[in-house]
């Protein structure tokens, strides 16, 4: 009888440890140490990502410095080819990837090719930048905004919000990416189909200057080819910092945010190393490194590129990554409205 309290305590500790072993959201110091030890045995982590090769190398090099017992491998591909690569490898029974950075995640989630992982870094990110089911968190973000040539248009004269593009004074003066499908889909989700399509049909009558790529749109705004256009905020800020005459509108309601999620493969051959890399990429250290190469972090404790980009100062609305799954439908609708 004298030993019963000790036995009861041992039993309770056992039950708690078993019950929490499948809960990746509960990471004690002990469990973190266990992950590191297991990652040492794995020795490798394979990252498939849409993040450009220079930025990927920057992060992976620092990760290897922190965890010298883990070798990193990186495959860089754009979203759709990367999705097809992962699906093809799975059908062939060749599960190579550990950590994935891709906008087209819902198809992988539906196919059971992702595993939930709630990183201890998640608490630093707003809810709209992470999956409610715990499958992904956004590595970095892009803001869709209205850019303008500050030599040709003053901040007071610039359009204040998306509907202002319909003002007759902007006819023939707006530049847009000819494949602005994600932004189009976001307006449908936020405003509702009827209101959004009414806006787009009116915008289609504004004699848009069509080009390919948001960087090119920004460059042409700076060159004065057209005074206004839809751009990425970080690109406009980078050019402005270099002395270019470009500004962007902070009063848009909303500023649509395209996410770049990271997630762990369900059949990751190196699952513990994948967790360490996931945590590192979302850490303040890594996010400051991305900020240094002009990326927009979703972390609330990372200073934005400029104070005006702080989430408290903008009406940010994240675009649901599930939009990517139906991008073909949205592209057809966009083409029908703007190019028929």
Mind listing the pLDDT tens digit of every residue in the chain (340 residues)?
444 444 343 333 333 333 333 334 444 556 889 999 999 999 999 999 999 999 999 999 999 999 999 999 999 998 889 999 999 999 999 989 999 999 888 889 999 999 999 999 999 999 999 999 999 999 999 999 999 999 999 999 999 999 999 999 999 999 999 999 999 999 999 999 999 999 999 999 999 999 999 999 999 999 999 999 999 999 999 999 999 999 999 999 999 999 999 999 999 999 999 999 999 999 999 999 999 999 999 999 999 999 999 888 999 999 998 898 899 999 999 999 999 8
* 148's tokens: 């303008």
Instruction: State the virtual CA torsion across 112, 138, 100, 24 in degrees, nearest 10.
Output: -60
Enumerate domains of the chain plus CATH numbers.
Answer: 26-140+258-312 (3.40.190.10), 143-257+315-339 (3.40.190.10)
Under DSSP, is residue 193 helix (H, G, I), strand (E, B) or coil? helix
Cβ neighbours of 312 (radius 10 Å)? 7
| Residues contacting 244, CB < 8 A, separation 6+ | 222
Distance CA 123, CA 164 (A): 37
Under DSSP, is residue 297 helix (H, G, I), strand (E, B) or coil? coil
Q: Which of 258, 263, 280 is nearest to 105 (CA)?
A: 263
In which element (H, E) is residue 160 found? none
Which residues, listed in sequence order, are joined to residue 142 by a DSSP beta bridge?
Answer: 258
Distance CA 277, CA 63 (A): 7
* 29's tokens: 């110091």
């Amino acid at each position: 009888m004298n030993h019963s309290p000790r036995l009861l305590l041992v039993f309770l500790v056992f039950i708690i440890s078993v019950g929490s072993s499948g809960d990746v959201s509960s990471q004690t110091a002990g469990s973190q140490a266990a992950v590191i030890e297991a990652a040492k045995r794995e020795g490798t982590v394979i990252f498939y990502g849409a993040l450009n090769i220079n930025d990927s190398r920057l992060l992976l090099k620092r990760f290897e410095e922190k965890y010298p017992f883990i070798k990193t491998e990186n495959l860089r591909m754009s979203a759709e080819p990367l999705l097809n690569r992962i699906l093809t490898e799975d059908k062939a029974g060749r599960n190579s990837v550990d950590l994935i950075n891709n906008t087209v995640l819902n198809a992988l989630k539906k196919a059971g090719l992702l595993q939930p992982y709630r990183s201890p870094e998640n608490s630093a990110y707003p809810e709209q930048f992470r999956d409610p089911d715990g499958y992904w968190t956004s590595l970095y973000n892009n803001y869709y905004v209205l850019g303008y040539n500050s030599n040709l248009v003053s901040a007071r004269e610039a359009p204040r919000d998306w509907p202002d593009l319909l003002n007759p004074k902007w006819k023939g003066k707006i530049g847009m990416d000819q494949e602005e499908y994600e932004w189009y889909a976001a307006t449908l989700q936020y405003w509702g189909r009827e209101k959004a399509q009414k806006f787009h049909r009116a915008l289609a009558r504004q004699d848009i200057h069509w080009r390919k790529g948001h960087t090119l749109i920004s460059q042409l705004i700076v060159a004065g080819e057209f005074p206004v256009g839809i751009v990425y905020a970080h690109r406009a800020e980078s050019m402005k910092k270099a002395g270019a005459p470009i500004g962007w509108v902070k009063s848009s309601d909303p500023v649509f945010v395209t996410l770049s999620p990271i997630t762990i493969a369900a059949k990751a051959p190196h699952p513990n190393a994948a967790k360490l890399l996931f945590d590192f990429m979302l850490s303040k250290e890594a996010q400051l490194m991305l900020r240094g190469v002009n990326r927009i972090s979703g972390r609330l404790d990372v200073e934005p590129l400029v104070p005006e980009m702080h989430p408290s100062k903008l009406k940010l609305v994240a675009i649901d990554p599930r939009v990517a799954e139906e991008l073909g439908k949205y592209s057809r609708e966009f083409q029908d409205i703007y190019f028929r």
